[in-house]
Amino acid sequence: MARRPNRPIRASRRRGFGIDYPRRGKRTWRRWIPSWRQVLSLVVLGFAALTGLFAAVYESVDIPDEKTEARRQGTVYYWADGSQLVSVGSVNRQNVTLADIPDSVENAVIAAENETFYSDPGVSATGIARAVVSMVSGGETQGGSTITQQYVKNTYLSQEQSATRKFKEFFISLKLNNKKKKGEILQGYLNTSWFGRGAYGIQAAAHAYYGIPAKDLDPSQAALLAALLKGAEQYDPAGSGGNHERAVDRWAWILDRQVETGTMTKAERAAYRKFPEPKPATKSTSLGGQTGYLVDIANKYIKKRTGLTDKDLFRGGYRVHTTFDKARVEQLERAVRSVRERDLDPKKRPEDKYVEVGAASVRSDGAVVAVYGGADAVTHFANNADTSGVPVGSAFKPFVLAAALQHGDGITLDSGYDSTGRLIKDGPYAVSPASPGAGPDPLMVTAPTPLRDALINSANATFVMLGKEIGLKKVKELAMSAGLHEQSLSRLDKSFPLGTSTPSAVRMADAYTAFSNGGMRAEPYSVTRMTRDGERVEGFEKPEPQRAMDASVANDMNHTMRLMAWTRLSQDGKFTAFTEPAFGDDLAAAGTGKDDRMKSAWFIGHNKGLTTAVTMFRNKPGTPQLLGMQGVGGPDSERGNVFPLRIWNAYVTGK
């Protein structure tokens, strides 16, 4: 039987599934270029696959229960021993219907946040993509682009900035836009948005800023409240750091924007030229006394370590465990009150008016144990314990001397300046007299005062010369190594060594721990642990100790400041009955003295493992400059310098 000739394999079989690729009839590289039909087929198949995937994800994502957020408890702060300090947040929220909200509010918010609100699908794909790319690349986090997305974030999702949260936000917003009317979404947004001052929702905001219900807001006030949606911490006019200027600019822009979008006429806009100043901010009575200052310090630390905002914290659900010792806080407050009541009399002496006190007590590992921020956080908002602006005076001189010991070649505590201004490094001694008949020798001087004694006696001239000797930059570097912020350090001129810088009491107390801790110090911290809905919030590892100066330098300084402490205590007639065993060996201190001409008084003391800084100054509300301290407490108060010492003594002894 004749054998059949071999037949060629069909192209469809050879290429599989009928796909002509590589393409027949084409030679060289052209075989690998797909035809337009193949390209079109791939596009159609890809689009169909993406559409199917989109539909599947859309169906799988459910809109969460919007009541969950309303049921969320406040943020709770705890003392170091685990007992509750205070619960804050998620209480100042009053829902209103859109019918009770003026059109001017609606127009201002839409003009400011999302002018296409009534026509868009509820999402901005480009905005989401931009935010995700920014987060993935490590750039600045960005919020939702539409009002619907912001409402979803306010009501249904956490405030975290992550690609997963953005993904959920997109689909929930799209689904919500298809299920709810635009008016319902806008109403929900206005009732859940954060306006600052503890206010969630337009009704609470109207009361917080203008003392009126939302229905009575005029277009000018509405524009200011709409400006706050961009970030109340930056746009509340009562805030610091340029807040007022930012608020005015955005308020004006929102009014102008309404003219551009056609919701306000030029004539109506012309009627609103004066900025609608809101009423002064107030605090919840639950934050009265020292509580508000403690929460303020904890919140600053939280925001620094996590990136959370006041809005997030007021949203509730957090559990914050602090380093604050309840007994110490109460003891510090009693000490301030007792000295004020005994030694100051504003009715008798005008100089005793407007006296403020700030104090902070820090452990050697950086833990902030106690603070005194003012008489009452509800009526005196500024936290005197954690606010810069008060010159530190001679309490800065230990950093100058420490820098000299650290960097000055051959400089010791026994070095000193003679009467000609020459530094004698080898210690106090009389210069050898000139030979007989040679006449008076200009270098024949008495023994120079040792640097040790110059610090104890707060000799200004010596420290001006010492700063020049070693270089003011070296002094600044050591102060920063000890933990003082660069922005609180003044200009490097001849007065710099005398304490023209303005660090806070918290920072001064923490910086002084380096002297009593062998040259080591850690960043001050006030929160040890934080959770939300049972989940631990990251970022609260204990700060690692850093070396600020050599151990030998710190020990020399600590010994000198111990002598300084006993000198100051013994000089104050109020404490003639004190005995050394009351303090023991663990005592060191420095502060301002009677020759200081700063508008403040300081004392920083170390005892029983705690370093405590106390400052006193005079600050009249509405006056930008501090008032003078001359005459405070009477003519013998050394410009008020005795009082921080007395407060410290009452605090550490409990008397």
Q: Which residue has the higher pLDDT, 51 or 489?
A: 489
What are the helix (H) ranges across 417-459? 451-456
Span 426-452, mean pLDDT?
55
Which of 170-174, 204-208, 326-330 is most confident? Answer: 326-330
- Two tokens at 347? 């009715």
Q: In terms of residues, how long is the chain?
A: 655
Span 165-185, mean pLDDT?
79
Q: Is pLDDT of 111 > 60?
A: yes
The most distant pair of C-alpha atoms in the chain lies apart, rounded to whole Å, by 148
Span 541-553, mean pLDDT?
97
Q: What local confidence, expressed as pLDDT, does residue 344 receive?
A: 94
Region of 450 (left: φ > 0; alpha: ψ -120 to 50; beta: rest) is beta
* Closest to 463 in 3D by CA, of 515, 395, 511, 409: 395
Q: How many CA atoms lie within 13 A of 203 on its CB side?
A: 15
Span 568-589, mean pLDDT?
55
Q: What local confidence, expressed as pLDDT, does residue 139 receive?
A: 44
Q: Which residue has the higher pLDDT, 254 or 563?
A: 254
Span 456-477, mean pLDDT?
94
Q: Is pLDDT of 83 > 80?
A: yes
Q: What local confidence, expressed as pLDDT, does residue 623 receive?
A: 85
Q: Which residue has the higher pLDDT, 610 or 445?
A: 610
DSSP secondary structure code for residue 395 in this structure? G
- Check: CB of residue 484 under 8 Å from CB of residue 470: no
- Chain-centre distance for alpha carbon 203: 28
Lowest mean pLDDT segment, chosen from 167-181, 367-381, 553-567: 167-181
Percent of the chain with pLDDT over 70: 76
Q: Is pLDDT of 166 > 50?
A: yes
How far apart are the C-alpha atoms of 332 and 358, rounded to whole Å?
A: 10
Q: What local confidence, expressed as pLDDT, does residue 140 receive?
A: 40
Span 136-154, mean pLDDT?
66
- pLDDT digits over 473-506, tens only? 999 999 999 999 999 999 999 999 999 999 999 9
Q: Is pLDDT of 6 > 60?
A: no
Q: Is pLDDT of 4 > 80?
A: no
Which of 117-126, 478-487, 597-606 is most confident? Answer: 478-487
How far apart are the C-alpha atoms of 287 and 313, rounded to whole Å?
A: 15
- pLDDT digits over 262-279, tens only? 999 999 999 999 999 999
Would you list the DSSP string of 308-326? --HHHHHT--EEEEE---H
Mean pLDDT of the chain: 83
Instruction: Output the pTM of the full model.
Output: 0.76
* Closest to 262 in 3D by CA, of 147, 145, 115, 122: 115
Task: Determine phi and psi for 616, rounding to 5 degrees.
Answer: -135, 140
Q: Is pLDDT of 441 > 50?
A: no
At residue 77 the predicted structure's pLDDT band, cuts being 50, 70 and 90, is very high
How far apart are the C-alpha atoms of 333 and 294, rounded to whole Å?
A: 13
Q: Is pLDDT of 627 > 60?
A: yes
Q: Is pLDDT of 25 > 80?
A: no
Q: What local confidence, expressed as pLDDT, does residue 148 receive?
A: 87
Lowest mean pLDDT segment, chosen from 32-41, 467-476, 628-637: 32-41
Lowest mean pLDDT segment, chosen from 34-43, 248-257, 489-498, 500-509: 34-43
What are the helix (H) ranges across 490-605? 505-516, 551-571
Q: Is pLDDT of 121 > 50?
A: yes
Q: What local confidence, expressed as pLDDT, does residue 635 receive?
A: 83
CA dist list (Å): 527 to 127, 294, 369, 472, 618 = 35, 11, 11, 35, 31
CB atoms within 10 A of CB 631: 14
- pLDDT digits over 186-220, tens only? 998 999 888 988 888 899 899 999 999 999 999 99
Q: What local confidence, expressed as pLDDT, does residue 420 receive?
A: 87
Coil vs helix vs strand at 391: coil
